[in-house]
Chains A and B, each alone.
Chain A
Amino acid sequence: DVKVTQSSRYLVKRTGEKVFLECVQDMDHENMFWHRQDPGLGLRLIYFSYDVKMKEKGDIPEGYSVSREKKERFSLILESASTNQTSMYLCASRRAGGSEKLFFGSGTQLSVL
């Protein structure tokens, strides 16, 4: 079965720190995603990568950047963490194509103090 692994389950950072969230998938999927999940707001897409070194902004990219140097790894970067970036971050991957299902990781709960 597909496995999407996020490097940390819980993370606590200080305001202004540079934060890296790492995600690795083991099924050679072309597409990878970063979402954030907040109570009452559902899942919102931050960035999407449709292939290595290719990226596309989602609905809420401000304050974030991404890196995809290898097919299996997709990193989310918070250049200067702020308290409003405290959230659950969910990575996902899928094969390229319209109706391919997303496989999600278990999430990283980030707290920015």
Chain B
Amino acid sequence: QQQVKQSPQSLIVQKGGISIINCAYENTAFDYFPWYQQFPGKGPALLIAIRPDVSEKKEGRFTISFNKSAKQFSLHIMDSQPGDSATYFCAASWLGSNYKLTFGKGTLLTVNP
């Protein structure tokens, strides 16, 4: 079963716009929620992560919003740039799984100039 559902599958945004990617999870034991960014030909790299004791975390143009009651979290990319064009994966993990990450299926973001 898919424990982390990610949407949309693909997203096209104009330069300067806001990109929003959403994830929903089922396992209430999850307590670590990272986002990974992957450029073509490269492995994924950690972009930003959050724990459920806070509702929002911001790093530069990237913000994670977390809604524990709804079991949802989202990535917002402000002032999107063509260089942000990549595949984004949300993920979740918890102590009981040795913190093995369960990934969403990914979102291909294209930012048009």
Which residues of chain A have a CB within 8 Å of any CB of chain B?
A: 4, 33, 35, 40-45, 48, 50, 56, 58-59, 90, 92, 97-107
Are A105 and B43 neighbours in the complex by a CB distance under 8 Å? yes
Q: Least Cβ distance of A50 to chain B in Å?
A: 6
Name the CB-closest residue of B to A39.
B106
CB proximity to A under 8 Å, residues B47-65:
49, 51
Cβ of A50 and Cβ of B98 under 8 Å apart?
Answer: yes
Number of A-B contacts (CB under 8 A): 58
- Contact (Cβ within 8 A) A101 B49: yes
Chain A proximity mask over B75-113: 1 for CB below 8 Å, otherwise 0: 000000000000001000101001111111110000000
By size class, the interface of chain B is 20 to 34
Q: How far is the CA of A99 from the CA of B51 in the complex (A)?
A: 9
Max count, chain B CB within 10 A of own CB: residue among A43, A50, A58: A43
Known: A58-B100, A98-B99. A40 touches B105 (CB 8 A): yes
Smallest CB gap from B2: residue in A: A42
**A–B complex contacts, Cβ < 8 Å, 25 sampled:** A41-B105, A42-B103, A42-B104, A42-B105, A42-B106, A43-B44, A43-B106, A44-B103, A45-B100, A48-B98, A48-B100, A56-B98, A59-B102, A92-B43, A98-B99, A99-B49, A99-B51, A99-B99, A101-B49, A102-B36, A102-B46, A102-B101, A103-B45, A104-B44, A107-B43
